[in-house]
Amino acid sequence: MQLLQIRGFNDFFQDTFAFIKENGKHYFKHYFIINGFFLVLLAAITYIFVSFYSTILFNPANFGVAESTNINPLDDFMNENFGVFILALIAFFIIAIIAGVINYAYTPIYLKLYNEKDGANFSTKEIINSYKANIVKLLMFVLLGLLIAIPLSIAAGIISFVLAITIVGILLLPLVIGLLALLYNNTLLEYIHNKRNFWDAMGYAWNSIASKFWATVGCVGIFFVISYIIQFIIQITSSIFMTARTLTVVESGSTNPFEQSASVIIVMALMFILQFVVSIITNSIIQVNQGIIYFSLKEEKENINTKTVIDQIGSSEN
């Protein structure tokens, strides 16, 4: 698939799924090679936290102790292991930042190489080398991105509040999310793709988006809505299973203090894994969509591919 190609609203959708269909195996293979270690580590840490909290929360024995002594088991554990808990949170925070940057930058770097190689003709080593070549830019993107996020968040919050007043406005809320996501993603793509500084890259991204505002922002907004609906269904299903299992244990009159908590933890673990995988897939599709939009707008603005084709025709005639 040619990335540098002028597209309309429908093409943004069609080419996003076409790209995943053609290159999904290559894309996700290298995605998990690059991000796999950090994703598994974060998932394991998160599961340990959730599992521990759920054990205390749903353990009937702990509730009995709490009622008789007025001591919260979780608070008691926290007081006894406060130092370890803080160190664990700091470690989780650091790992989450590193994993977040690597994960967020993967699709822009992948699409950059895809465009340069004219297809998925590159290896994991080339992706890693691209990370290394852009490490300074990635760090600057995170720092400056967080800085500009403050005024952008305030503006987005005000706009969202105004929109939420009316029913019609609520339907437009995904556009706010879509605009912010597209602005940041396209800024990073332009930042690592050309020799612009962060602010010039953001200005370029904004001007490109504004030239086709409703088609681009609307497309990304719809993808976010679809992603939210899918994950909401999973959460609702998880809640139904947990409630049903709890009622089953209560109605059976089980005296095993761990039966209820163990059942809930198993369901939570399964749903967590499912939601984790679905989140990776949907977020990847959204980022690919944003990349498709970026290259489409870039071609429309600079006619890069058109000029190349004309030059090739001229060379063949000579």
Residue 155 lies in a domain: no
pLDDT score, position 66: 47
Residues 315 and 33: their CA atoms lie apart, in Å, by 41
At position 94, the amino acid (one-letter code) is I
Most confidently modeled of 84-98, 120-134, 273-287?
120-134
Q: Which two tokens stand for residue 315?
A: 């060379």
H or E element: which one contains 187? helix 173-193
pLDDT score, position 271: 73
Mean pLDDT of 201-229: 93
- Residues of the chain with pLDDT > 90, as a percent, come to 45
Residue 195 lies in a domain: no
- Answer whether 282's CB lies under 8 Å from 230's CB: yes
Residues 189 and 185: their CA atoms lie apart, in Å, by 6
Residues 1 and 103: their CA atoms lie apart, in Å, by 23
Residue 188 lies in a domain: no
Residues 36 and 144: their CA atoms lie apart, in Å, by 27
pLDDT score, position 63: 45
Q: CB-based contacts of 306: which residues, under 8 Å, 6+ apart?
A: 299
Residue 263 lies in a domain: yes
Residue 179 lies in a domain: no
Statement: residue 265 has pLDDT above 70: no
Report how many domains make up the chain: 1
Residue 176 lies in a domain: no
Most confidently modeled of 78-92, 150-164, 247-261?
150-164
In the predicted model, what is the mean pLDDT of the chain?
A: 81
**Residue span of the structural domain in which 293 resides:** 9-146+211-301
95-115 as b/e, with b when 16 or more CB fall inside 10 Å? Answer: eeeebebbbbbbbbbbbbbbb
Residue 134 lies in a domain: yes
Mean pLDDT of 132-142: 93
pLDDT score, position 251: 60
Statement: residue 313 has pLDDT above 80: no
pLDDT digits (tens, 9 = 90+) for 216-250: 999 999 999 999 898 888 888 877 776 776 666 55
Higher pLDDT, 294 or 273: 294
pLDDT score, position 67: 47
pLDDT digits (tens, 9 = 90+) for 169-185: 788 888 999 999 999 99
